[in-house]
Amino acid sequence: MTTTVGIIYKYQFEPAKAEAEKLEKRLKEQGIIVFSKEMSAPSGLRSCHDEPMKIPKNVDWIVVLGGDGTLLGAARNIGKHGTPILGVNLGGLGFLTSIPLKRLYPVIEMMLKEKLEVESRLMLETKVLRVEDEICRFSVLNDVVINKGPLARIIHLDAYINETFLTTFRADGLIVSTPTGSTGYNLSAGGPILYPTMASLILTPICPFTLSNRPIILSDSNTISIMMGVQSEEKVTLTLDGQVGFEFEYGDKVMIYKSNDRIKLIRSPDQDYFEILREKLMWGGATYSVVSQNELE
């Protein structure tokens, strides 16, 4: 039986705040203890630490009101403790926040009656070593990205799999993605879409100088290590879930591997994953337009 619910809503977004207040009132009327919190301001590229969410780790459920970015922040802060998350889309594309706002309250009632399915997703542990000292450790849901500055030349990134040399990527950067993150930056860079519950990692170069450098899918039992092969004159950044990160220096070593933490996302009762793909990526729309034009001719 549900007795406590956490509500996290999009940073400085009044529609999300208004919906959070309305939902909090409705839940309290049913005798449920509610902890409501605005998402913290993005940390940017100055720190590899999130602000604490200040919602108890042992709440029964978390409702996220916003977009995928809000849910990613919630996942890193509190969802990594195994608390199921219901993502409600008040943002843009919304692969993770798959519940539309108009369906919020019917789905909430199903959630309170424990009639919704929960899906477990892989997270990545990211550890950065600088002169053998660990300077950062982070769990991420979507991806880890090493990227050059906008005016910099291509960078050289030495990649190792389980300490065995793979190759040196000469590219604008490199993405290590989870299956959940495969529809994010990885997809834009030409990487494959993976079913979100698969036990795999994706290594995708960004605009590689050598066209034979293609994305590679690895088992989640592997550890990926990346270092800069040649010192860059420009800034190179390491970003985590596209939200937090810091400057990646020559000599740093980033190690990426399966986290012991798992994120639990509540599945949409109205759509399966393939329906969400068709809707968000508009698959079939172009074909329909061509057929309709041919029929007119």
Residue 106: per-residue pLDDT? 95
CA pair distance 213, 170, nearest whole angstrom: 9
For 86-90, 149-153, 192-196, which range has the lowest pLDDT when averaged over its residues?
149-153
Phi then psi for residue 20, to 5 deg, are: -65, -45
Instruction: For residue 60, indicate whether it is catalytic.
Output: no
CATH 3.40.50.10330 domain range(s) in the chain: 4-116
Percent pLDDT > 90 in the chain is: 63
Paired tokens of 290 = 């061509």
What is the fold, at CATH topology level, of the domain defined by 4-116?
Rossmann fold (3.40.50)
CATH 2.60.200.30 domain range(s) in the chain: 123-260
What is the fold, at CATH topology level, of the domain defined by 123-260?
Tumour Suppressor Smad4 (2.60.200)
Interval 58-71: pLDDT, tens: 899 999 999 998 99
Whether 181 has a pLDDT exceeding 90, the answer reads: yes
Give the HSE-up count for residue 118: Cα atoms under 13 Å, Cβ half-sphere. Answer: 16
Residue 95: per-residue pLDDT? 84
Paired tokens of 224 = 């990926």
Q: Grade residue 296 by pLDDT with cuts at 50, 70 and 90.
A: very low
Q: How many helices (H) and strands (E) does the chain have?
A: 6, 17
Question: Mean pLDDT across the stretch 172-201?
Answer: 96
Provide the mean pLDDT of the chain: 88
Interval 76-132: pLDDT, tens: 888 888 899 999 998 677 788 889 999 999 999 999 998 999 999 999 999 999 988
Residue 46: per-residue pLDDT? 57
pTM of the model: 0.89
CA pair distance 152, 290, nearest whole angstrom: 42
Catalytic residue, candidates 68, 172, 241, 252: 68
Residue 294: per-residue pLDDT? 40
Burial class (CB in 10 A: 0-12, 13-18, 19+), 81: middle
- 271 or 124: which carries more pLDDT confidence? 124
CA pair distance 147, 276, nearest whole angstrom: 29
